[in-house]
Amino acid sequence: MERDSLAFTPAVELAQLLKAKELSPVELVDLFLKRIEDLNPKLNAYLTVTSEEAREAARKAEKAFQQEEELPPLFGIPISIKDLFLTRGIRTTNGSITDANCVPNEDALSVERLRKAGVIILGKTNSPEFGMSATTENRLGDFCRNPWNTERVSGGSSGGSAAAVAAGMGPLSLGSDGGGSIRIPSCFCGVYGIKPTNGLVPSAIWGGMPLFSAFGPITRTVADAALMLNCIAGPDSRATYCVRETPPDYLKALASKDDVKKLRIAWSPDLNYAATDPEVISVAKTAAHSFEEFGCSVEEASPGIWDAYPTAWKPLAWTDEYLVHADALENQPDKLVGYIKSYLEYGKSVTGAQYAAALHEMWDLQKRMLNFFDKYDLLLTPTLATTAFPGKNIDLTKENPHLTVYPSVIGGKKVHSHWGFKPLTPLFNMTGQPAATVPCGFSSDGLPIGLQIIGRRKEDATVLQASAVFEEAHPWADKRPPVS
């Protein structure tokens, strides 16, 4: 197999090649490290590359394969980790100069599980400071660029992870999603990303937005995401919050795609509130109605719940972030990105009454979404309101630098300076539901467009099955961005 093709081979197939000894883990790691060396200067997808550690792990893996031991499912597979997750012995910056030299002595729970599954860590991927932005820029260097057009943003906050997977700088990446941070960059970069049901992948030894955050895969294929989810999902007594039921085998669930034929699907171009680019709506609508070809019923419908969503978000999200990052605000305020400092100061100022009122609004949103899903099995929307827009190295000491980057008008309508391009993702963090983005086409200027697939809480298997059915009919993994 050609080296370039190998870089874009799904992890499921790589695992089979390694097990059959048709591929050396040393060769595989060297391939990806060379691609990172060549492409990272153009993209800034990795903040830290663990070349020596990865090569040593690959040599050990090669010996294990030769001994024909029973090995874990991701043994010898290279992976990148978003730089918000603690990684034992590997620099973890949180996308901030406040932690630029931090080397933890323990792993986040998800990382611990991935190590047990046999992965080889290539490095840590770029994130905005504390993951608190929908584009990936920080004071550590250049902004993370999009492989489809390096003058465009990659999205955030898992921007480095999505850019790395899209550009063939590693087959898998671990991301986090507190308001769209897996789905936004996956959509902009044309790869698959799923935010699992909140708590399905438990949180321990990791901070930030515990009410909203979920942890999950960014991959090129649905099967790769299912395999990775198998390794990181499931309860843990150390977790502050987790789903206690043992999850199904998600990879095996993909074999039951016939279940998709029975699904009742709601399609909404804008959830009755979002200004969305007409070209994005057109491409996503065609993708949504393609489920009728699979035997599903598809009708336009929306839960229509914008009224409480934005007012509840701010006090809940930024207060929780303040609890995690209070030390940085109090002791290193001059090192913080300007807008992060203002978010944390706002979180500090929220009163108990304001926080309680926001909680009640969130619970009402959850109730109304549960009622909506009494009638429907899935909800489909465009993932984002627009395609990746031009980026630049903004002055991060200022309070609102995104005003010079984020779109102010979408679909001919003026939009909110921060919510405008991503109005359709954060809602499902508040309701806790699984939500994935599948690449469903391209804009007239060659940028990826995504379809968001949302399911009932704890029915992640259904979201994966629907994603796989769409992928089989409209494959995307063979499409490579120009930078690659």
Q: Which amino acid is at 250?
A: Y
Q: Which member of 80, 154, 181, 268 is catalytic?
A: 181
The contacts of residue 379 (CB under 8 Å, 6+ apart) are 265, 266, 267, 268, 303, 372, 373, 453, 454, 455
Q: Is the dihedral of CA 433, 434, 440, 442 positive or negative?
A: positive
Q: Which member of 96, 154, 157, 176 is catalytic?
A: 157
Residue 217 CA to residue 202 CA, distance in Å, equals: 14
Contact (Cβ atoms closer than 8 angstroms) between residue 88 and residue 106: yes
5 is catalytic: no
82 is catalytic: yes
User: Structure tokens of 201?
Assistant: 């992948």
Q: Which member of 82, 124, 195, 458 is catalytic?
A: 82
- In whole angstroms, how far apart are CA 288 and each of 220, 264, 282? 20, 12, 10
The contacts of residue 109 (CB under 8 Å, 6+ apart) are 202, 203, 204, 205, 206, 236, 238, 239
Residue 380 CA to residue 297 CA, distance in Å, equals: 12
Contact (Cβ atoms closer than 8 angstroms) between residue 62 and residue 24: yes
From 324, 317, 325, 323, select the one nearest 341 (Cα to Cα): 325
176 is catalytic: no
Catalytic residue numbers read: 82, 157, 181
